[in-house]
Structures are given as structure tokens and as C-alpha cells.
Amino acid sequence: MAELSEKLRRTIRDVPDFPKPGIIFKDITPVLKSPELFRKVIQAFCDRYREKGVTAIVAIESRGFIFGGALAERMGVPFVPVRKKSKLPYKTVSATYELEYGTDSVEMHADALGQGDRVVVLDDLVATGGTAQATARLCEQLGAEVVELAFVIELAFLHPRKKLSKYPVFSLVTFD
Ligand code: AMP
């Protein structure tokens, strides 16, 4: 784990002032460009959740889909996409969360999960934790249990675990 964490730390690219001034964007495309590293990321999540009775992987658009799709396929469990407002075609449930200015919503198909489901919520990165918290609430609205919130990258200096204190949180690399 420590080795993978260090490899990720060295590979993830910082892009200053994207998408707006003051934000340092953590670019995961160099990770995706290395089939060996990408495989190790998916394997690390797979090893962690294989024996936990997980029935679905819930991933957040859009970079979460890259890791979530690969993990669900590897684990042989359903993949559930969570999207921003008005993108999903069928009946949806929705959860709203606070942004720095205003609010945003995430949605999931109403028949995506149900009672008895045990899910891992996965995204590429957790910053304030607002998106992951809203996604966990969607899962719970449909009767599912959230086993863990999982991320490739955790921006620990934004203290996402405070907001997510109700759930176990796991990340492969942390930036302090
Ligand atoms: P948050 O709801 O604040 O935890 O933000 C998490 C979402 O925003 C994730 O889907 C991330 O992909 C994206 N995000 C936030 N901050 C960054 C960043 N510095 N670099 C890359 N993606 C980010």
C-alpha cells in the first residue's frame, strides 16, 4: 500500500489554476496512461472489498466512472452511475449539496439499488466531501448500506472526513 501510495504521489500531476484561479487540479491522466499503475489501483480496491459482501460499486461522474467501471467489472458486481442533475434518462432520486457559492445536485436511477444492497461509493478525489456525502445519501434513500467511501486521492487539508464522519473513508494517497 505504501509503495502504491508513493507511486501515485509521484505520478499525479498538479495543474495550477484549473479550472479557475487558486485551484490546484489533481490530474489523474498520467495514472491512466500507465496500464501497470492503473491495474494496481483497481487491484488495491478489489483486494480491500472482495470479502466484504459488496453488492454494487457506485461511482460519481465523470472521473469516478473510470475507476468504478473497472472495479465493478473486476469484482463481478453491478456498476451504478451517479450523475449531475438532469443527465440520467430514467426515473431518478436526487440529493442536493452545498458548493462554495450555491448548491448542486447528484442523481441516481430510482431502481439502481434497494434494501439489502451493500455498496462502495467511489470517486477519483475527495476535496470537501460534499459530493460523496450527497451520493451516500442517495444510496441510503434507496435502502442500501454504504460499506465505505473510497477515493484514489484525498485532499486532507480540506478535512473531508469531518463532513463524512458517519461513514468509513478510504483513500490510496493523501495530500496534507
Ligand atoms: P468535493 O465535493 O468538494 O469533495 O469535490 C469532489 C469532486 O470534485 C470530485 O468529483 C473531484 O473529481 C472534483 N475535484 C475537486 N477538487 C479537485 C481538484 N483539486 N482536482 C481534481 N478534481 C477535483
Per residue in 68-115, pLDDT (tens digit) is: 999 999 999 999 999 999 999 999 999 999 987 889 999 999 999 999
Residue 41 counted as domain residue: no
Nearest-atom index, ligand 1, CA of 130:
2
Residues 77-87 pLDDT 10s: 999 999 999 99
State the residue range of the domain holding 115: 53-175
Q: CATH number, domain at 138?
A: 3.40.50.2020
Residue 10 lies in a domain: no
Instruction: Give the closest residue (by CA) to ligand 1 atom 17.
Output: 25
φ/ψ bin of 57: left (φ > 0), alpha (ψ from -120 to 50), beta (otherwise)? beta
Question: Within a domain: residue 46?
Answer: no
141 alpha carbon – ligand 1 mean position (Å): 23
Residue 26 falls inside a structural domain: no
* Average per-residue pLDDT for the chain: 97
**Does the N-terminal peptide bond of residue 62 adopt cis geometry, omega within 30 degrees of 0?**
yes
Question: Considering its fold, how many domains does the chain have in total?
Answer: 1
Residue of 50, 100, 118, 145 with catalytic role: 100
**Which pTM value belongs to this model?**
0.98
pLDDT digits (tens, 9 = 90+) for 32-65: 999 999 999 999 999 999 999 999 999 999 999 9
Measured in Å, residue 127 CA sits from the centre of ligand 1 at: 5
Contact 66, 124 (CB under 8 A): yes
Does residue 6 lie within any of the structural domains? Answer: no
Report the pLDDT averaged over residues 151-173.
98
